[in-house]
Amino acid sequence: MGFASNIGKYQLGRTIGEGTFAKVKLALDSTNGKYVAIKILDKHMVMESNLKNQVQREIRTMKLLNHSNIVRIHEVIGTKTKIYIVMEYVSGGQLSDKMLYAKRFSEGEARKLFQQLIDAVDYCHNRGVYHRDLKPENLLLGSKGNLKISDFGLSALRKPGDLLSTKCGSPSYVAPELLVNKVYDGGAADVWSCGVILFELLAGDLPFDDSSLMSLYRKICRADYTFPQWFTESQKKLISGILDPNPKTRLTIPKILENEWFQKDYVPSCGNNSDDKIHLDDVNAAFDSTEENDMETKIPKSASFINAFQLIAMSNDLDLSGLFEEEDENKQKTRIGSKHTIKETIKKIEAAAMDVSLSVERTNNLRMKMHAKQIMTRCSRSYIDISAEVIEVAPTNCVVEISRSAGELGTYREFCKSLSSQLTEEPAVSSQMQESDVVSIQCQSIRKKESSEETNSRKIKDYRGYSSS
């Protein structure tokens, strides 16, 4: 196959996937003659894009899982410029590739794949892992047609009962509770995605599909879909229970396992008990050589870039919360666009606060509260409570969300005016934007990438299911 170079005991071969920050190569383990897939990441680009924690989380999660229907990680190797993640090689490619030419699967084939998917997801949930991006592109097929879950870049590791808040996933597969600005159960969200996949396997089409992102999300929130004529009553009953927009009444995995349609020809696939001590020495060593060169360690960093779901939740015009809850008309909020880095934006917030005689109190790296400097006389007391949060859209683009919980409206408006002025000192910087303006600008970018069905939360996309976080 034309091996060109070596990394440790592995002989690197042809490229089987490529993305913005990484390549995936087929390789041969010289000690046993077995093939592996090696994901090669550019270390400098990972560090510059603040993706170190995300990459480490993906590796840590995949090391924790040892199941026949989940792609395994063997080891991590680091050099001065590259990070090599050695993974199990799955020869059958993505499930999505097979779906392109197979259209829809037979009931038996669909049931077998769905059984393996549920077994693997159940195993993950029992280990406290929630995938949050289940879709055919992240499901690989082995040589015998067995399914394997890959790409845990958006996964979360939580204790049972803990709720999640990060909005992520792929539009057509995302659960409705992720489209509103509330915490959610990661297990219920994964089950919804499994239901969408089952529908697609049996129908050959997605249950929710629309050229307009907002129309798509409204369909998802209302569970607005139609069964093809060939669906049986047992298939409809199972899928209807899974695609329940209310996560509290949605079918759980134990209920799915008891379902009569699911149980037919069911052969459970069990996972192995991994060592509770997950060794990350190779992971830490892979990054150590760049730690001293990380000049941005003191700069505040957001947990992740803003994504489509957060953009929708930020706008009263586009927010879908009204489908679930009443809107609070008493909230006083303003959002201002900034074409500065997070560090520069925070400095400008502090300067604007000084302009209107407000003191600043940091609650964390990206949030702060403004209070009036205590000036009291016998007759009056000055009091104002304003909070500001910086949300990163891109490395040099932010949105500042300002809210007033108490105090005079005049001071609040003066602060917003001053901050808008601070952020427009340079000609290239946008002036103050209303909520719908911010969302409109960002959604234009989202729609251009809609065909790939990827949200802005994803920073790296590789092919054949070997995706990087």
Closest by CA to 122, choosing from 65, 71, 169, is 65
Q: Is the pLDDT of residue 52 over 90?
A: no
Say if residue 63 carries a ligand binding annotation. Answer: no
Active site residue 133: yes
Q: Is the pLDDT of residue 320 over 70?
A: no
What is the reported pLDDT for 124? 93
> pLDDT per residue over 257-309, tens digit each?
999 999 999 999 876 655 444 555 666 666 665 443 333 333 344 444 555 55
**Which one of the listed residues 119, 133, 190, 319 is annotated catalytic?**
133
Check: pTM over 0.95? Answer yes or no.
no
Average confidence (pLDDT) over 247-255 = 96
What is the reported pLDDT for 311? 56
Contacts of residue 452, defined as CB under 8 A and 6 or more positions apart, other chains included, come to 461
Q: Which two tokens stand for residue 87?
A: 């993974």
Q: Which two tokens stand for residue 174?
A: 């995302």
* Contact predicate 92/140, CB 8 Å: yes
Q: Which two tokens stand for residue 201?
A: 């396997």
**β 22-29/35-42 pair status:** antiparallel
Q: Is the pLDDT of residue 316 over 70?
A: no
Domains of the chain: 5-89 (3.30.200.20), 95-263 (1.10.510.10), 308-452 (3.30.310.80)
Closest by CA to 306, choosing from 452, 442, 449, is 442
Least confident span in 80-89, 114-123, 154-163:
154-163
Closest by CA to 335, choosing from 410, 408, 388, 378, is 388
* Contact predicate 138/461, CB 8 Å: no
